Amino acid sequence: MKQLVLIKYGEIILKGLNRPFFEEALVKNIKAALPDSFKGQIHRAQATIYVEPDDPAIIDEVIHRLTKVFGITSLTRAFVLPKDIESMKTGTAEVLAPVLQNIRRFKVEAKRADKKFPLTSPQICQEVGGYLHDTFPNLVCDVHNPEEIVMVEVRDEYAYAYCGKVKGAGGMPLGSNSKATLLLSGGIDSPVAGYMTAKRGVKLNAVHFFSYPYTGERAKDKVMSLAKILAGYNPRMDVHIVPFTEAQLAIKKNCPEEQLTIIMRRIMMRIAEKIALQTGSKALITGESIGQVASQTMEALAVTNEVVRMPVFRPVIGMDKEEIVTIARKIGTFETSILPYEDCCTVFTPKHPNTKPKLDRIIQSEAKLNIEELVAKAVEGVEVITV
């Protein structure tokens, strides 16, 4: 019996006259995520996308890949049935027998997208549920606490039967909300911030500040591993590796120790903004959370923001570490993030950082630096790696 993948999406349905734009973006991303071996049909109708491979043996791989496509709320392997009630009853029993033979409590739910179908949704549930109950002696109908829910959908051309849904990534289709540049460190927070922004349909590129020889190749490799994990949700991401040693040494030599972190962050933001503008990004993204470290107090964030004009997104700003770690585990970045390789933000950390910096004093200290030259050299020396 013919099988396919039914894909459901949520938020896109509310987009009114703009809905086709988001649906087309989602279909484009689905096609890009499918394995190279995929041959078959993809089409959409009635707020559902149908992915029908010629070879049903690859359906599990298709589902696995599509769980990382933003915009999808759920997906499932479904069986195609003729659109008459007798075929729906016998067909559902046949295709779902491997599941129904091994459970006790079940429930049937029906969706009648084709309103011309002669039976209502409750009537479909009664007919199919009664047949399954009679066919499988082990089954008991339990609408409150079923082990499995049997779904029957009646649509324009066919009916579909399935059991169980796989949760999708949710959010909005990638690329439907412009591009932003992520300041990607080797820590836990910034990959989560990138993931959360990408989930809203924002295409990512990334900037990583590399302070060789104070940070080694293993630290760089760690960041590239994080980028590859993010690329599972944000395909073909450019990572801009910025040589930052000269800037950090200049700051350390000329500026008060307690201001090192703030001035370093301000130069990072200047560099990131230049790269963002060059790459068509509309905003910067950081993994900062209020009060987590000295450079993330409200006063420090305000001083840091002062050097850039484009918006700065901070998706984890109100989260505690446990909440951020939960998401990092979910998306697969946590184990890489905790590898013990330092990044440039940790090797020059002052013993007593200024947690409430004054902008006028920071600007006074920065006057001792040739900031334009430091920024220009860093941007000129960028290495771009695509993952």
Per-residue pLDDT tens for 3-23?
Answer: 999 999 988 988 888 999 999
Instruction: For residues 61-83, give the mean pLDDT.
Output: 96
The answer to whether residue 343 scores a pLDDT higher than 80 is no
The answer to whether residue 385 scores a pLDDT higher than 90 is yes
The answer to whether residue 349 scores a pLDDT higher than 90 is no
The answer to whether residue 340 scores a pLDDT higher than 90 is no
- Pair 278, 382: CB distance under 8 Å: no
- pLDDT tens digits for range 142-172: 999 999 999 999 998 999 999 999 999 999 9
pTM of the model: 0.91
Q: What is the mean pLDDT of the chain?
A: 94
Q: Of 227-241, 289-303, 365-379, where does mean pLDDT reach its minimum?
A: 289-303
Q: What is the dihedral of CA 59, 64, 68, 74, to 10 degrees?
A: 70
The answer to whether residue 294 scores a pLDDT higher than 90 is no
Q: How far apart are CA 77 and CA 232, in angstroms?
A: 22
* 188, 192, 359 from 321: Cα distances, Å: 9, 11, 28
Q: How far apart are CA 106 and CA 259, in angstroms?
A: 64
pLDDT confidence bin for 291, thresholds 50/70/90: confident
φ, ψ at 87 (rounded to 5°) = -65, -35
- pLDDT tens digits for range 198-249: 999 999 999 999 998 888 889 999 999 999 999 999 999 999 999 999 999 9
* Secondary structure of the chain as H, E, C letters: CCEEEEEECCHHHHHHHHHHHHHHHHHHHHHHHCCCCCCEEEEEECCEEEEEECCHHHHHHHHHHHCCCCCCCEEEEEEEECCCHHHHHHHHHHHCHHHHCCCCEEEEEEEECCCCCCCCHHHHHHHHHHHHHHHCCCCEECCCCCCEEEEEEECCCCEEEEECCEECCCCECCCCCCEEEEECCCCCHHHHHHHHHHCECCEEEEEEEECCCCCCHHHHHHHHHHHHHHHCCCCCCEEEEEECHHHHHHHHHHCCHHHHHHHHHHHHHHHHHHHHHHCCCCCEECCCCCCCCHHHCHHHHHHHHCCCCCCEECCCCCCCHHHHHHHHHHHCCHHHHCCCCCCHHHHCCCCCCCCCCCHHHHHHHHCCCCHHHHHHHHHHCCEEEEC
pLDDT confidence bin for 31, thresholds 50/70/90: very high
Instruction: For residues 64-82, give the mean pLDDT.
Output: 96
Instruction: For residues 64-69, give the mean pLDDT.
Output: 96
Instruction: For residues 115-122, give the mean pLDDT.
Output: 96
Q: What is the pLDDT of residue 179?
A: 98
pLDDT confidence bin for 293, thresholds 50/70/90: confident
- pLDDT tens digits for range 122-135: 999 999 999 999 99
Query: Exposed, middle or buried: residue 83 (CB in 10 Å: 0-12, 13-18, 19+)?
Result: middle
The answer to whether residue 318 scores a pLDDT higher than 80 is yes
The answer to whether residue 346 scores a pLDDT higher than 90 is no
The answer to whether residue 358 scores a pLDDT higher than 70 is yes
Instruction: For residues 312-317, give the mean pLDDT.
Output: 97
Token readout for 176 is 């439907």
